[in-house]
Amino acid sequence: MERVQRNSKLKITALALTSLILLAIGGTSWALHATEETSVKSEKPEGEKVAEKKESEGETCCKAGDQTPPIDLAKNIPPGGLHSPYQDWAKLAKEEELVEQFRVAGCNECHGGGGGGGFRPALSQGVWFWGNTDDVLFRLISLGSADLEKQGFTRIQWGTVHAGMPMMGHTIKTADHLWKIIAFIRSINPPGTIPPEKVIPGRMHAVGETPPG
């Protein structure tokens, strides 16, 4: 009788220990899974990290030599927040062959070897379809006109060529390269010197709405 009771107690003790071990293993596994899940959720695209870093450090976008892909900046910096680090584009044009920056990206294939026009509009004519601020030009070139509209920008006017601007942000690898292309455009068509003789900001519509015109 005593042996039976002892065996029963041993079985109960063994079952209890087994249950505790299983609970411990299950708890550890759940904790590891929760940690991994949190880690995955906390991971953000590189572009968002760059934008948050600039904002947290109080930086004004953008800096000369910035190697960030232009699409990342265009998608993660709020509209109006993109400003060229090469405001003295006339000085830069004397120091560097900016037209080479323009050509190496393939811009000349549509807009002509010197930006004077090809089967796409001349960049020297002073007609700005979306506006002519640094912010608008950077977004238009990197994202293309279709994605620019998705960000809420509205086309201001049409030229003789009714065609959209393709996305060039995959071809132009760095923000610095794109800013130098924009500096080249400024050098052949400075705001305020050719009609419409003023800086034209981009016009916005609510995201999701069909733009007018």
pTM for the predicted model, two decimal places:
0.66
Q: 153 - beta bridge partners?
A: 204
Estimate the crossing angle of helix 175-188 against helix 134-150, to 10 degrees. Answer: 110
Stretch 162-185: mean pLDDT: 92
Q: Which alpha helices (DSSP H) does 43-107 contain, by range? A: 46-56, 70-76, 89-95, 98-104
| Confidence (pLDDT) at 120 | 81
Is it the case that residue 12 has pLDDT exceeding 80? no
**Under 8 Å CB-to-CB from 85, ≥6 apart: which residues?**
62, 63, 64, 66, 176, 179
Model pLDDT for residues 78-127, shown as the tens digit of each residue: 999 999 999 998 899 889 988 898 888 888 788 777 776 777 887 877 77
| Confidence (pLDDT) at 39 | 42
